[in-house]
Structure 1
């Protein structure tokens, strides 16, 4: 078997680029909306990035799990290239038409990110569950890379449309990296690796872990499995998956609801008060907050090799505490911008920990049959997307009614 680090590098690249463009639009949302004179509609970009995630994941769960995995990633890759082109055209004009078209591009980019994430997470079932850290670390680093790239491009004076054009070739690297993973997955047939890896890593006492929610015994009856290795959709499958996943999904969705309220809503309202200050850190505080948030996400998504958290509800409670502090900060601005930056790193850590440990619990569970793991990932990603979607709705209300001024 080839070195773990070869797989890590390939999965890291796929995770990084899958989320990079999504982050780039999210970080640039305040600048782009201000360019069109629509500052109070800035949360619409985050709304569009996630608004169709649940329908696309349901479509994947219901129909696409039996479609060739490489074909799904290829279609997604071509669509992302098109979105880069459309975004660059929109932000290069002052015409009012550019704003709604850029929102449509954000919508398509979000759909591609969500589909790519779910397909990749599902395909990792072909490998030992510890390989998940490569992909999750890549998705976490995408935040640092995307927000850092936007800040760097602004610092050297690049125009907004140039930012989207220069990063478009990354999609080619994305597709080639996945092609390598896809071929390795097809030849990786030693299923016993799963039990070997679990024994090597060690697992907490299941009687004291969140895997209590995954206790349904495997049915002795054979279910219909497609050529992709995924069980074909049925109502019975949906019931089984939901029964196992609702609690994990609820906690994941709650953590992301709370953190997107912070990074999209409270951070926007707080940093607008710095406008006109003249300091680089205050003038770019929103983008720097996004960068700090992504540092926390990356660190925590890379933590799987060092520690694991079975009780993800603890993370949810900690994130709720962060949410309360940030609401007070948006109202009263009692911290310096540096206090906001440090607190946001911690907020990102909570989101990354919830994400990576939920994924690990699913992939490492021997209660969930291998052919149902992508469907289980679909449910968790759906709940994640629902949390973000509800957060963007909350932020639109916050920006236009609660903290309009």
Structure 2
């Protein structure tokens, strides 16, 4: 080495921050709309459960007509709305169990989901027998069951915040679905015409997926060059084959069990007890009270599902405990009618919705942060089953509970504010 030669010391390269993605709004907006449309039909069927049952029984569909005018018996339907819940969740659960193990044909799955959603609205709207209405509910459920795991799995190719906008959209489905149904019925629109109006949402779902949402890159859009290199080193290999995926499921139990419990308690209330809580001196009929309880609940869900970027919760099991307390309140209220005013019950219903929505969004947001990209797609699809397990069990138990409470002597409120 000569004296005039310089020794060049390599310095660490400081990575440049990734360029700002100016079209990210398209993905975030699309996922909000997809969450809305995917859950909209499911919410509407639950909101319409009271009417779907009533129109095929001896009572009139008129809101001013009660199901039983005998003063010695409670005002109950012969069939619990838990039957609608089972028709609305079991097909979805069956689909969610199978979907993670199938090839990821995203375009085919979404097309099928859109067609099934539209068919479900048409069947319920034009039903001339109870089995046709239930079949429509089943088909709508299958559509939601295809869409949720597919969209959440697909989210692994986009910015992590699409999970939060998806969750917010599903919460929005609760509010818009229950409120639109309750409002249209209050305006005198028939159940059939209401269902036909709602065909707008399957069309919106298709437009959002194929037009608004951008085609993903090979790597997630939020990943910088440096992050890509690190993930290639630290990321676990993608899961291959049925056996390997089956073994991996046990690592997802910390996400699945608390979420399943929250939804079990939540839907045990919604479909087993809501319709049995009735305030006689209210200006609203029993059917209208049921619908507005659903609207109130969905407002709580929407607020909490939209809150993850403001407030994050890790202890999902704590929400399950609080939801169990809500079960105790609604069970005793349905039996003894001790709450003096409907406004107190509406506050508890709102709280119930906040717990359910918070458990959902925080579970999937944690997964988007804690599970490595190579396994996130399968994990997201699997954990969507957990709330369905809880909801299905709640539906089974809601039916005998409904019958047991209906067999009790009638209760009357001694104090009404």
Q: TM-score range by the shorter chain?
A: 0.7 to 0.9
**TM-fit CA distance, 1:281:** 6.5
Alpha carbons of 1:402 and 1:151: their partners in 2 closer, same or farther (altered >3 Å)?
closer
**TM-fit CA distance, 1:287:** 0.5
Q: Does 1:170 align with 2:173?
A: no
Q: Does 1:325 align with 2:329?
A: yes
In structure 1, what is the Cα distance between the partners aligned to 2:35 and 2:319? 23
Alpha carbons of 1:123 and 1:325: their partners in 2 closer, same or farther (altered >3 Å)?
same
In structure 2, what is the Cα distance between the partners aligned to 1:177 and 1:295? 24
**TM-fit CA distance, 1:3:** 4.6
**Contact 1:77–1:175 under 8 Å retained in 2:** yes
Q: Which residue of structure 1 aligns with residue 257 of structure 2? A: 250
Correspondence 1:344-363 to 2 at 5 A: 344-363=349-368
Q: Does 1:37 align with 2:57?
A: yes
TM-score, normalising length from structure 2? 0.82
Q: Which residue of structure 2 aligns with residue 395 of structure 1? A: 398
The DSSP-based 3-state class of the residue aligned with 1:40 is coil
Alpha carbons of 1:167 and 1:83: their partners in 2 closer, same or farther (altered >3 Å)?
same
**Contact 2:119–2:139 under 8 Å retained in 1:** no
**TM-fit CA distance, 1:130:** 2.2
In structure 1, what is the Cα distance between the partners aligned to 2:138 and 2:214? 30
Q: Does 1:338 align with 2:343?
A: yes
In structure 2, what is the Cα distance between the partners aligned to 1:378 and 1:236? 15
Correspondence 1:28-107 to 2 at 5 A: 28-37=48-57, 39-41=77-79, 42-63=81-102, 66-90=103-127, 93=128, 98-107=129-138
Per mean C-alpha deviation after superposition, the further-off stretch among 332-341 and 151-160 is 332-341
Q: Does 1:124 align with 2:155?
A: yes
Q: Which residue of structure 2 aligns with residue 112 of structure 1? A: 143
- Structure number with greater Rg is 2
**Contact 1:282–1:337 under 8 Å retained in 2:** no
1:256-301 deviations in whole A, cap 9, x for unaligned?
A: 0001011111111113x64xx5712655111110000000000000
Q: Which residue of structure 2 aligns with residue 298 of structure 1? A: 302
The DSSP-based 3-state class of the residue aligned with 2:209 is helix
Alpha carbons of 1:325 and 1:186: their partners in 2 closer, same or farther (altered >3 Å)?
same
**Contact 1:7–1:134 under 8 Å retained in 2:** no
The DSSP-based 3-state class of the residue aligned with 2:161 is helix
In structure 2, what is the Cα distance between the partners aligned to 1:190 and 1:140? 25
Per mean C-alpha deviation after superposition, the further-off stretch among 252-261 and 312-321 is 312-321
In structure 1, what is the Cα distance between the partners aligned to 2:149 and 2:395? 21
Alpha carbons of 1:4 and 1:137: their partners in 2 closer, same or farther (altered >3 Å)?
same
The DSSP-based 3-state class of the residue aligned with 2:216 is helix
Structure 1: tracts of 5 or more residues without a match: 197-216, 224-230
Q: Of residues 262, 273, 295 in structure 1, which corresponds to 2:269? A: 262
1:294-328 deviations in whole A, cap 9, x for unaligned?
A: 00000000001101111111111111111111111
1:29-54 deviations in whole A, cap 9, x for unaligned?
A: 01110111182322211111111223
The DSSP-based 3-state class of the residue aligned with 1:310 is coil
Alpha carbons of 1:45 and 1:85: their partners in 2 closer, same or farther (altered >3 Å)?
same
Query: How many equivalent pairs are there?
Result: 362
In structure 2, what is the Cα distance between the partners aligned to 1:363 and 1:243? 18
Q: Does 1:139 align with 2:170?
A: yes
1:75-111 deviations in whole A, cap 9, x for unaligned?
A: 1101111111111111xx4xxxx11111111111111
The DSSP-based 3-state class of the residue aligned with 1:234 is helix
In structure 1, what is the Cα distance between the partners aligned to 2:203 and 2:218? 23
**TM-fit CA distance, 1:369:** 3.1
RMSD value, Cα: 2.2
**Contact 1:70–1:182 under 8 Å retained in 2:** no
**Contact 1:81–1:168 under 8 Å retained in 2:** yes
Structure 2: tracts of 5 or more residues without a match: 1-20, 59-76, 228-233, 409-417
Alpha carbons of 1:139 and 1:193: their partners in 2 closer, same or farther (altered >3 Å)?
farther
**Contact 1:16–1:142 under 8 Å retained in 2:** yes
In structure 2, what is the Cα distance between the partners aligned to 1:88 and 1:249? 35
